[in-house]
Structure formats: C-alpha cells, structure tokens
Structure 1
Amino acid sequence: MPKDRIAVITGASRGIGRSIALALAAQGATIVAVDMDQAATDAIVAELKAAGGKALGVVGNVTVPADVERMIDAATEAFGRVDILVNNAGITRDGLLMRMKEEDWDAVLTVNLKGAFLCTRAAFKVMSKQRYGRIINIASVVGQMGNAGQANYCASKAGLIGLTKSNARELAKRNVTVNAVAPGFIATAMTDALSDKVRAELTAQIPLERLGSADDIANAVVFLASEASGYITGHVLSVNGGMYM
C-alpha cells in the first residue's frame, strides 16, 4: 500500500477526486490536494486532516504551466518528494457535433488532455531524480467506446489513454509506471437527479446492473499507486461493471 508516499491529486475537492484523496490518505499517503477553488481546497484538506491524514492544499489551474510548476514545487518544498500523481481534473461541455462550439472543443481538450500532459511533465522531473513514481490518469469508458453528444470529451479521454501508453514506454527506464483507470457510469449528484426511467436505461447497459461508485474508482487508484502494481505499466484498468469489455 502507498504508506508514507506523497500523492498529488488534481481536481481533489469533489466527486471521484475526493474519494481518491480519502482512500489514499486512509492507506497512509500524504495528500497534496489541487483544485481551482480556494474554499473547496480548504474543505478537502480539513476533511483529510480531521480523518487523521496529512494534507496540503494548492490552488491552481492544470492548464497554466506556471500553476502546474508551483503545484509540484509546493509538494517538494513541503514533503521533499512526489511519489504519486493522479491526473483527475476534468470538465465536460457536451453537445452534438454539428452544434458544438469550437471554444467548447478547445476547453475540454485543454483541461482533460493538455492538463494531464503538463502535470506529468512537471512531476516526472522529480520522479526521474528519485527513480520512482506512480502516475495514474483518470480516463473514461467513453474514451474506449465513444458516446453521442460527447465528441470533445471522448476525444480527450481517448487521447489520455494514448498519452498513458506513450508515457509508460518513455518513463519506465526511471522506474516510473504510468497507468489509466477508465470509469464507467458512476453514481454522482448528476445521476441522482435522473428519472427512474433514465437510470433504468443506463443500468440496462451494465452487466452488473448497477452504477459504480466513486469508491470503486478510488480502490483501483490505490492499487495502481501501491507497490503491488510495480510490474504494471501502460495498462488501462476498466472499472465499468462490464459495460465495455
């Protein structure tokens, strides 16, 4: 387990990111929680500390290179190293192809894909010197199978899978593994608001006949961040209830 490791998590204040932060902290990792909102960042740090964990909050935008460098610098200045990077920050701007605005395409690709590139590049500078690192990218089942009305999001997540595989080959010589977790349909505040009919239609696509939870994703990340996964790199771990095989 990732005990005593330093984990930088982007988009750490809510949803899947929050669950990942709590799960890694429960295993003894020190969390550097990154978010764009100061109040949200303060809240997750307080929650982590209240649970007995060690945590530092950094407010920053993963699409801004100076912010990304500052995020990694803050981690190393406070704790001396960066062992784990979880590229979780992401956005959606859904719309049918013929109606999709260029700015919505650009925004999603910039946050979801360029942000992961910038964070990985910055973290690898530290991991390379340590000759140790675990990089975990949060992809999506729709990056594997596509989804109508999400051309930008699907492209960004498919690109993230490609980035994962390329970086896995490139960074392995420094004992840095790079893997992805591809969530399926996960229960969130948004899915809670869906009608019973729509929820039934969603679950009908899933062999396990239920939506996943944020904890399901966090558990997969904990494994890939641990010593137990040391011989796994370039892998996409699908956590989707069998929706895509």
Structure 2
Amino acid sequence: MAADRLKQISGHLANSHSNGLLNGEVVIVTGAAQGIGRSCVLLFAREGAKVVISDLDEAKAQAVVDEVKAAGGDAIAVGGDVGADDFPEKILKATVDKFGKLNHIVNNAGFTYDKMLHTMPDESFDAIMRIHVRAPFRLVRAAAPFFRVKGSKENRSIVNVSSVSGLHGSVGQANYAAAKSAIIGFTKTIAKEWGVFNARANTVAFGYVQTRLTAAKEKGETIMINGKLVALGIPGGGKAADEGKPVPGIPLGRGATTDEAANSILFLLSPLASFVTGHTLEVTGGAGI
C-alpha cells in the first residue's frame, strides 16, 4: 500500500512539478514531519517547490525528505526546537546554502498544553506563547532581508497557522487561544509593513482537522516540552468521526483531512492569492457561521 502511494505521488510530481503553482520557489515549513506540515510538504513539492522541512524530531523530518526525493522532488531536513535562540539563523543558513533563496515561510509548528484557566500554571502559558508567537516572530524577523526587497516581482509570502480558538476562545485553552489570536495581529502587521515590498502575509484559522492534537487523549500521544512529557489530544476526541457519525456543529459533518488543510495554505502561498494579504482564512467546514 505504501509503495502504491509513493508511486502515485511520484507520478503527480513528474507530471506537475515543472509547471506547478510553486515552480522553483523555496518554502520553509515548520512542524513538518507529520500532520498538516507533512501534507504541506508533499503538496508543495508536487507543485514544484523546493522544501525545507523543520521539525523537533529530525529523524521523522528526514523520512519526509526521503519521500519527497523518492517522488522526484527536492527537500532538506532541519531538526531542532523552533523556539531555540539560534533556530532562525540555523534554518535560514541551511536554506540559503542548499537553495540560494527563500520565497515562503509556513509557521505551522505547535502543540496544545491544556488546563482550565483557574488551574493553568505559568509554564503552560509561557510554553505555548514561546512556540506559537515568539518563534514565528523571531523567524520572520530574521528572514526580513528575503522579503524586504524593493522592486521585486517574485512571489513571496508568509502564512502563519492560527485556529478558531484564536477567533472565538476555547474552554481549557486560555494559553492556546491567546497565542492563536496574537498571531493574527502579528500577521496583519507584517502585511502592512512589508506590502510595499510586494511581500504578502496571511493566516489560516483551522477548525477541526484530524491530527494528533484533535484525536482522543486516551490514545496516549505526547510531546516533550522542556524535559516534560505533555499529553496531546482531547478527552474522548474524534469519537463521532471514529463511529462514522456526523460531527456536531460542522455543516459539512466532518473534520478536515490534513491534505485539505494543506490545500488552503497552498492557495495563500500561490500566485492565485497574489492580491490577498493580511487575511485570515477560516477553514472550518462551516463551523461557526
């Protein structure tokens, strides 16, 4: 089955990468070894991009690189904590050393660290803000020379991943909601400051996407944060989908696949969105309308 899937991806790449929506462009994707990030990498490569795959787990990131290369694309892996002080310089150097330029950044890395507001310790709040707000800010700031280019007509953009939690709040996620709201304001500021350089910045606010962050917490998925294992998921999460039932509150009746999530990011990166900047695209299946 895996071999068939790889052959299918290879066929798509062979047929489309030379005239794809991102042909010859270079994209950094953080949190790209699995979930939405991995789907973004495979999709962007199919559309002709050269992709820099960043993840906390470098071995998993390299496995995605191997998928891309086996299918005829080009990518590199850069492991490490996006929140580390030296991370922006590290990933930008690797990008330029390999590909010589940078067109796009997708700030996708993130996780949840849920607690009810009245019991949430400082460490839970600070850890989420560090990865979801401070890290994107520091990477974008370091990448300024690639985007603040006078007279450039090249397609260049930044997409920051947000959430409906940042638009409407979410029980047990005061930290996550605050961070995902902050990234929207940050993105709009980039759009206003760098629009004169023909550089765009947009946000995607995802609703229910089927990833380890929305799966049942009982499945035992964890992430190591500051030497501590943090449980991921939602108690009883994904139950309706697992039982083949419509998901309440979503007109389309289901959560998005990671490929569907990646499609929305591709649109914002691509020339199809050449006059779209400062926008927050809600990808929710109609939830909240």
Q: TM-score, normalised by structure 2?
A: 0.80
The answer to whether the 8 A contact 2:147-2:194 is kept is no
Amino acid corresponding to residue 140 of structure 2 in structure 1: T
Q: Determine the structure 2 residue equivalent to 1:119.
A: 139
Alignment of 1:141-220 (within 5 A): 141-189=164-212, 190-191=214-215, 194=236, 199=241, 203-220=247-264
Residue 195 to residue 45, structure 1, CA distance change in 2 (3 Å): closer
CA distance in 1, matches of 2:142, 2:237: 43
Look up the SS of the partner of 1:7 in the other structure. Answer: strand
- TM-score, normalised by the number of residues in structure 1: 0.94
Name the structure with the higher helix share: 1
Aligned to 1:235: 279
1:95 to 104, 115, 123: 115
* Greater length-normalized contact order (CA 8 Å, ≥ 6 residues apart): 1
Tell me, which stretches of 5 or more residues in structure 2 are unaligned?
1-20, 220-235
Q: 1:125 to 1:196 in 2, by over 3 A?
A: closer
Q: 1:22 aligns with which of 42, 54, 58?
A: 42
| 1:127 Cα deviation from its structure 2 partner | 2.2
Length, aligned pairs only: 245
Q: 1:188 corresponds to which letter in structure 2? A: T
Structure-2 separation of matches of 1:156 and 1:79: 32
Contact between 1:60 and 1:71, CA under 8 Å: does it hold in 2?
Answer: no
Match runs of 1:55-70 below 5 Å: 55-70=75-90
Partner of 1:221: 265
Aligned-pair Cα RMSD in Å: 1.8
Q: Residue 100 of structure 2: which of 80, 101, 106 is its match? A: 80
Overall identity of the aligned pairs, in %: 37
CA contact 2:190–2:201 (8 Å) conserved in 1: yes
Letter in 1 for 2:273: S
Q: Which is further off, 84-93 or 184-193?
A: 184-193
> Which structure is larger by alpha-carbon Rg, 1 or 2?
2
In the alignment, what sits opposite 2:74? 54
Structure 2 Cα separation of the partners of residues 188 and 74 of structure 1: 28
Shift of 1:25: 0.6
Segments of 5+ residues of structure 1 without an aligned counterpart are: none
1:191, distance to aligned residue in structure 2 (A): 2.3
